[in-house]
Amino acid sequence: MIKAASIRFALLAAILPAAGGATFPATAGATLPSVVHEKAVLESSRSSVPAGAVLPLDGRDFGAGESYVLRLVGALREYDLGEVEADAEGLFSIELAIPGSVTPGAYQVVAVAPDGDVAARLDLTVLEAEAVAPEGADERPAGEVVHEAAPRVARADEMPIERSRSGLEWGVIGLLIGGAGGLGLGLLRAGR
């Protein structure tokens, strides 16, 4: 079953655009849910934090004495959050600083083991700093500079989007269009 999943991940990795910008350091499979390896647990009292604030984060069932890289992983962006070391019982408890530069959105805090496997994940919503400043202000360490995002201006135009396709994707598109066109003409002739 694991072998089948690996093959599937490898196939997906092959057709993912090369310029997709995926900077996740682990294997291609690690960017996808890999429940087989996720025995550890990340927990927090908060499901959302403003950018620039601090997230109380607890971990359990991690490898005793092992270090884990913490990353904030969203659909489009990833951020390094530093390293954490589990104690002899596989526990840790930290105050995790969410960088003020994080774009608001839906993320996961991901703990990556030394071998590159994802050990645990936690869903987290990062909010705009200024939108929740009064609440978040209590939780920021003294002296920390608050990230104040510039107010967004509504725009009616379209975003510039860098569209890129791999050779395999172009091949699939060409095959589908050409195949449908050819078969369609053939059927029309056959139906005469």
Q: Considering only residues 17, 56, 63, 100, which one is a binding residue for other proteins as defined by CB under 8 A?
A: 17
190 is a contact residue toward other proteins (CB under 8 A): yes
If the CB atoms of residues 76 and 88 are measured against other proteins, the closer one turns out to be: 76
Residue 171 makes contact with other proteins by CB under 8 A: no
Cβ 53 to other proteins shortest distance, Å:
15
Helices 2-15 & 167-190 angle (0-180, nearest 10)? 90
Q: How far is the CB of 16 from other proteins (least distance, A)?
A: 6
What does the H/E/C string look like for 23-61? CCCCCHHHHCCCCCCCCCEEECCCCEEECCCEEEEEEEC
Verify binding: residue 150, other proteins, rule CB under 8 A. no
Q: Does 18 bind other proteins (CB under 8 A)?
A: no
Q: Which residue bears the tokens 């997906």?
A: 12
Residues 87-126 within binding reach of other proteins (CB under 8 A): 104-106, 125
Q: Indicate the DSSP class of residue 129.
A: T
Select from 1, 75, 142, 145 the one that contacts other proteins (CB under 8 A).
75
Q: What are the C-alpha distances in Å from 173 to residues 18, 169, 189?
A: 17, 6, 24
CA distance 183 to 12: 28
Please choose, out of 49-57, 69-77, 88-96, 141-149, the segment that lies near other proteins by the rule CB under 8 A.
69-77
The interface region with other proteins, picked from 94-102, 130-138, 139-147, 160-168 by CB under 8 A, is: 160-168
Size of site (CB under 8 A) for other proteins: 44
Q: Which two tokens stand for residue 47?
A: 């499901």
Interface with other proteins, residue 16, by CB under 8 A:
yes
Contact 170, 153 (CB under 8 A): no
At 179, list the tokens: 């195949």
Distance of CA 127 to the CA centre of its chain: 16
Using CB under 8 A, list all residues that contact other proteins. 12, 15-17, 20-22, 74-76, 104-106, 125, 127, 152-159, 161-165, 169, 172-173, 176-178, 180-181, 183-188, 190-191
